[in-house]
Amino acid sequence: MIQTQAFSQTNPTVKLFVITNKNGVCAKITNYGAILTSLKLPLKSEDREVVLGFDSLEDYQSEVYLKDYPYFGAIIGRFANRINQGKVTIAGKGIQLPTNHGKHLLHGGHSGFDKQIWEAEILSESKLQLSLHSKDGDQNFPGNMKINVIYELNNDNELAIYYSATCDKTCPINLTSHTYFNFTGGKENILNHELQIDSDKIIETNYELIPTGNFAEVKNSTYDFNSKKKLNRDIAIIENYDDCYVLKTEGETLMKVAELYEEKSNIRMDISTDFAGLQVYTGKFINVERNDKFGPFSGIALETQDFPDAPNQTNFPHGLIHPGEVYEHQTRYQFHF
């Protein structure tokens, strides 16, 4: 069942869509930024909130939130993660994209998909489609790009996100959901959560998190999550995970790639995807002023996506979309509780 509610005191075009399955799992999505604002699981003790988000459009547009903008729950595009100095070359032509993170492009620029109002269509009792037309020259990205994102909440307690896009010019593309998870309902940070990732390599980056073009083996290192381990085990050494894990999907095959588990709540989330990478960000720099609930390590972002800076890395796949192609990916989050 999908219900439609108001989400703003001032903008009637921004709505909240509430999807509830037969088990009482409830997902809330707004057409502003295609944001997953809430995901509640019906535990015996309470309906447990397991993602970070707000209750109104005004909260997402407030100065205190945007100052250290953590992109809670948003769909990111046209290009998630980083592009080195915001520069790409397509067919021999250099293109300068916005540099909104120091001298680099991050998560689509100053006004990416996360800040746009999407068209919404209820497809069924469990499916919501959000659509966006990004015009040629939008933040200097080439081509008219059409994007569809479908959220589906099924009765197997699985939230699926389906991505598709076309463009009439060759253009960088990398879409993701920037949802943060915390299975304690905000009572604790995420450092006692246990994470497992089926990955042998991460993308090597410099100190600004720009890829070097190389891959680093994780076996027996502090980056190794092939066996489930608590996030706090190596955090004193790492300080903060913000790394792209290379998945065995090869960007084509849907498969289970990761698990997140929290012992006290006994909540486990399985992540399946056909994206090539999984960006793990443990949220050290989350800082929403005057809101104690949203501080460092208050959530972990597990962003299924393709590789950062892919248009500038000859050995990275999936960095561009070409005319006549259809960009298609999906990610599924299944909850056990």
Residue 179 annotated as binding?
Answer: yes
Q: Report whether 278 contacts 197 (CB < 8 A).
A: yes
3-state helix, strand, coil in the chain (%, to 5): 5, 45, 50
Sheet holding 127-134, edge to edge: 119-122, 127-134, 145-153, 158-167, 327-336, 267-273, 255-262, 194-197, 229-230
**84 marked as binding residue:** no
Per the structure block, which two tokens stand in for 13?
């075009």
From CA 198, how far away is CA 244, in angstroms rounded? Answer: 12
User: Is 82 assigned a ligand-binding role in the annotation?
Assistant: yes
Residues belonging to the active site = 178, 303
User: What would the DSSP string read from start to end of 123-192?
Assistant: -SSSEEEEEEEE-TTGGG--S-EEEEEEEEE-TTSEEEEEEEEEESS-EE-B-EE--EE-TTTTSS-STT
178 is in an annotated binding site: yes
Alpha carbon distance 68, 231 (integer Å): 23
In contact, 130 and 31? CB cutoff 8 Å: yes
Instruction: Answer yes or no: are the C-beta atoms of 41 and 337 closer than 8 Å.
Output: yes
Annotated binding-site residue numbers for beta-D-galactose: 81-82, 178-180, 242
Annotated binding-site residue numbers: 81-82, 178-180, 242
